[in-house]
Structure 1
Amino acid sequence: MGLKPLDLKKIQEIAGNTYEAIVIMAKRARQVNDERKIMFNKRLDEVRALKAQQQQGKEEEPVRILDDEKTPKAPPEQLQIAEEFDLMPKPADVAIEEYLSGKLEWSYSRDKDEERRRR
């Protein structure tokens, strides 16, 4: 994936200034990352539950997959899920695209102390 230049003037037009735009995009990128983390953990839990059901039928201890250095290796299902998530666009790229296409909405909340000072 190559680098793409961003038009700073367009970024400033939308939010008002560059710092504000960066904060907005960073918060959205964190949201995207958190959503993906939840989705990833949910998928892993499903795989673990399926494995547990399969192992209940067997009374043997589960076979551990070891690599050449005799260290435990991740199960293939877990690796497949991780690869799927690796192929997704990066959260920062998603946030930038949403910001530039006008899909993001934001508002400002006043700090309670600031409101008290203004009264």
Structure 2
Amino acid sequence: MAASPSIITRDTDKLAAKTGNLYESVAIISRRSRQIASKTKEELNNKLAEFASGIDNLEEVFENREQIEISKFYERQPKPTGIAIEEFMEDKLFWRFSEDEDTK
């Protein structure tokens, strides 16, 4: 079974170099990925809400090509994780570490 061409091997040393710790880098990327996914989901839901009707009959489901095209468009979008990694590696993200209560 061949790997999908969308799978990219990442150099963990380069990820870790940005923060000095791989796990902190992954946490930052993860948080940004969730932000992107949430925004995308909200956009999709807003667009699909236009098609919502109280009556669900089988004919409407099969005839609504515009709704299907909108869904397919969002399925073809880059994954939120990939976008977040690219933003992180291109220094497009800003993050800060909160101070520990013990150091105050």
TM over 0.5, shorter chain: yes
1:86 equivalent in structure 2 = 75
1:26 equivalent in structure 2 = 30
1:106 equivalent in structure 2 = 95
2:84 equivalent in structure 1 = 95
Instruction: Decide whether aligned partners of structure 1 residues 63 and 118 sit closer, same or farther in structure 2, where only a CA change above 3 A counts.
Output: closer
Structure-2 separation of matches of 1:77 and 1:47: 9
Gap runs ≥5 in structure 1 = 53-60, 67-71
Superposed CA deviations along residues 59-93 of structure 1, whole A, max 9, x for unmatched, are xx885328xxxxx6583222111100001000010
Instruction: Decide whether aligned partners of structure 1 residues 75 and 104 sit closer, same or farther in structure 2, where only a CA change above 3 A counts.
Output: same
Question: How far off its partner does 1:4 sit?
Answer: 1.5
Matches within 5 A, 1:65-84: 65=59, 75-84=64-73
Aligned length: 100
SS at match of 1:47: coil
Q: What TM-score do you get using the length of structure 1 for normalisation?
A: 0.70
Q: What TM-score do you get using the length of structure 2 for normalisation?
A: 0.79
Q: Which protein has the larger Cα radius of gyration, Structure 1 or Structure 2? A: 1
2:8 equivalent in structure 1 = 4
Q: Does 1:64 align with 2:53?
A: no
CA-atom RMSD in angstroms: 2.7
Gap runs ≥5 in structure 2 = none
SS at match of 2:37: helix
